[in-house]
Amino acid sequence: MATIGKRARAAARPLATASTETKNRALEAMAKAIQAESETILAANAIDLVHARESGVAASFIDRLTLTPERIEAVAAGIRDIAAFKDPVGDVIAEWDRPNGLHIERVRTPLGVIGVIYESRPNVTADAGALCLKAGNAVILRGGSDSLNSSQAIHACLVQGLKEGGLPEHAIQMVPVADRAAVGAMLSGLDGCIDVIVPRGGKSLVARVQNEARVPVFAHLEGLCHIYVDRSADLEMARRIVVNSKMRRTGICGAAETLLIDRAGAETLLSPLVSALKEAGCEVRATDEIRARVPGLELATEQDWSTEYLDAIIAVALVDGVEGAIEHIGRWSSAHTEAVIAQDQAVADRFFAEIDSAILLHNASTQFADGGEFGMGGEIGIATGKMHARGPVGVEQLTSFKYRVRGTGQVRA
Amino acid sequence: MATIGKRARAAARPLATASTETKNRALEAMAKAIQAESETILAANAIDLVHARESGVAASFIDRLTLTPERIEAVAAGIRDIAAFKDPVGDVIAEWDRPNGLHIERVRTPLGVIGVIYESRPNVTADAGALCLKAGNAVILRGGSDSLNSSQAIHACLVQGLKEGGLPEHAIQMVPVADRAAVGAMLSGLDGCIDVIVPRGGKSLVARVQNEARVPVFAHLEGLCHIYVDRSADLEMARRIVVNSKMRRTGICGAAETLLIDRAGAETLLSPLVSALKEAGCEVRATDEIRARVPGLELATEQDWSTEYLDAIIAVALVDGVEGAIEHIGRWSSAHTEAVIAQDQAVADRFFAEIDSAILLHNASTQFADGGEFGMGGEIGIATGKMHARGPVGVEQLTSFKYRVRGTGQVRA
Best mutation site among A249, A405, A406 for testing chain B: the one with the most B CBs within 10 Å? A405
Would you state the pLDDT for residue A94?
87
Q: How far apart, in whole angstroms, are the C-alpha atoms of residue B196 and residue B388?
A: 11
* Residue A360 belongs to some domain of the structure: yes
In the predicted structure, residue B9 carries a pLDDT above the cut 80: yes
Q: Which domain holds residue B329?
A: 225-373
Strand order in B256-262's β-sheet?
A92-97, A103-110, A399-410, B359-364, B337-341, B225-229, B256-262, B313-319, B283-286, B298-299
pLDDT band at B132 (very low <50, low <70, confident <90, very high): very high
In the predicted structure, residue B205 carries a pLDDT above the cut 80: yes
* Residue A198 belongs to some domain of the structure: yes
Residues in chain A closer than 8 A to B353 (CB atoms): 17
Q: Choose the closest CB to A361 out of B196, B360, B407.
A: B407
B305: domain CATH number?
A: 3.40.309.10
In the predicted structure, residue A7 carries a pLDDT above the cut 70: yes
Residues B103 and B33 in one domain: yes
Q: Phi and psi for A305 in degrees, rounded to 5?
A: -65, -20
Scanning every residue of chain A, which has its alpha carbon at the shortest distance from the alpha carbon of B388?
A: A388
Q: Tens digit of pLDDT for each residue in A336-376?
A: 999 999 999 999 999 998 888 888 999 999 998 888 888 87
Would you state the pLDDT for residue B353?
85
Residues A198 and A258 in one domain: no
- Which residues are CB-contacts of A65 (< 8 A; sequence separation ≥ 6)? A45, A48, A49, A52, A120, A121, A122, A146, A147, A150
Residues B157 and B266 in one domain: no
Q: How far apart, in whole angstroms, are the C-alpha atoms of residue A225 and residue A227?
A: 7
pLDDT band at B36 (very low <50, low <70, confident <90, very high): very high
Distance from CA of B65 to the nearest CA of A (A): 25
Residues in chain B closer than 8 A to A240 (CB atoms): 409, 411
Q: Choose the closest CB to A386 out of B358, B373, B400.
A: B400
> How many residue contacts between A and B have a Cβ separation below 8 Å?
178
Q: Choose the closest CB to B352 out of A234, A357, A404.
A: A404
Scanning every residue of chain B, which has its alpha carbon at the shortest distance from the alpha carbon of A247?
A: B412
- Which residues are CB-contacts of B330 (< 8 A; sequence separation ≥ 6)? A13, B355
Q: How far apart, in whole angstroms, are the C-alpha atoms of residue A39 and residue A94?
A: 48
Would you state the pLDDT for residue B211?
86
Residues B206 and B337 in one domain: no
* Residue A413 belongs to some domain of the structure: no
* Residue B384 belongs to some domain of the structure: no
* Residue A166 belongs to some domain of the structure: yes
A266-288 mean pLDDT:
97
Would you state the pLDDT for residue B178?
64
Q: What is the DSSP string of B213-275?
A: -SS-B---S---EEEEE-TTS-HHHHHHHHHHHHHS-TTSTTSEEEEEEEGGGHHHHHHHHHH
In the predicted structure, residue A178 carries a pLDDT above the cut 70: no
Would you state the pLDDT for residue A243?
96
Q: Give which of A373, A319, A109, A60 is closest to B355, Cα–Cα.
A: A109
B15-29 mean pLDDT:
95
* Residue B380 belongs to some domain of the structure: no
Q: Tens digit of pLDDT for each residue in A374-400?
A: 887 778 888 887 777 778 777 778 888
Is there a contact between B410 and A364 if contact means CB atoms under 8 Å apart? yes
How far does Cα A47 stand from its chain's mean position? 29
* Ranges assigned E (strand) in A111-164: 113-118, 138-142
What's chain B's average pLDDT?
92
Residues A210 and A328 in one domain: no
B156: domain CATH number?
A: 3.40.605.10
A289-300 mean pLDDT:
94
Q: Give which of A155, A182, A164 is closest to A2, Cα–Cα.
A: A182
Residues A53 and A156 in one domain: yes
Q: Tens digit of pLDDT for each residue in B38-56?
A: 999 999 999 999 999 998 8
In the predicted structure, residue B194 carries a pLDDT above the cut 90: yes
B11-16 mean pLDDT:
93
* Ranges assigned E (strand) in A252-375: 256-262, 283-286, 298-299, 313-319, 337-341, 359-364
Residues B243 and B151 in one domain: no
* Residue A299 belongs to some domain of the structure: yes
Residues A153 and A296 in one domain: no
* Residue A93 belongs to some domain of the structure: yes
Distance from CA of A118 to the nearest CA of B (A): 22
Residues B79 and B187 in one domain: yes
Residues A242 and A170 in one domain: no
Is there a contact between B362 and A386 if contact means CB atoms under 8 Å apart? no
Residues B269 and B141 in one domain: no
Scanning every residue of chain A, which has its alpha carbon at the shortest distance from the alpha carbon of B367?
A: A412
Amino acid B14 reads: P
Q: With pLDDT > 90 as the criterion, what percentage of chain B qualifies?
A: 66
Residues in chain A closer than 8 A to B323 (CB atoms): none
Residues B12 and B116 in one domain: yes
Would you state the pLDDT for residue A363?
92
Choice between B328 and B411, residue whose per-residue pLDDT is larger: B328
Residues in chain A closer than 8 A to B280 (CB atoms): none
- Which residues are CB-contacts of B301 (< 8 A; sequence separation ≥ 6)? none
Residues in chain A closer than 8 A to B402 (CB atoms): 356-360, 390-391
Amino acid B357 reads: S
pLDDT band at B220 (very low <50, low <70, confident <90, very high): confident
Distance from CA of B154 to the nearest CA of A (A): 30
Is there a contact between B196 and A234 if contact means CB atoms under 8 Å apart? no
Q: Tens digit of pLDDT for each residue in B260-290?
A: 999 999 999 999 999 999 999 999 999 999 9
Q: What are the start-end ranges of the H helices in B117-224?
A: 123-134, 148-165, 180-187, 203-212
Torsion of CA A212, A216, A217, A222, to 10 degrees: 80
Composition of chain B by helix, strand, coil, percent to 5: 45, 20, 35
Would you state the pLDDT for residue A374?
82
Scanning every residue of chain A, which has its alpha carbon at the shortest distance from the alpha carbon of B359?
A: A403
Is there a contact between B386 and A195 if contact means CB atoms under 8 Å apart? yes
Is there a contact between A411 and B367 if contact means CB atoms under 8 Å apart? yes
Distance from CA of A39 to the nearest CA of B (A): 32
The total of structural domains in chain A comes to 2
Would you state the pLDDT for residue B396?
79
In the predicted structure, residue B254 carries a pLDDT above the cut 80: yes
State whether residue B96 is helix, strand or coil. strand
Residues in chain A closer than 8 A to B375 (CB atoms): 96, 98, 104
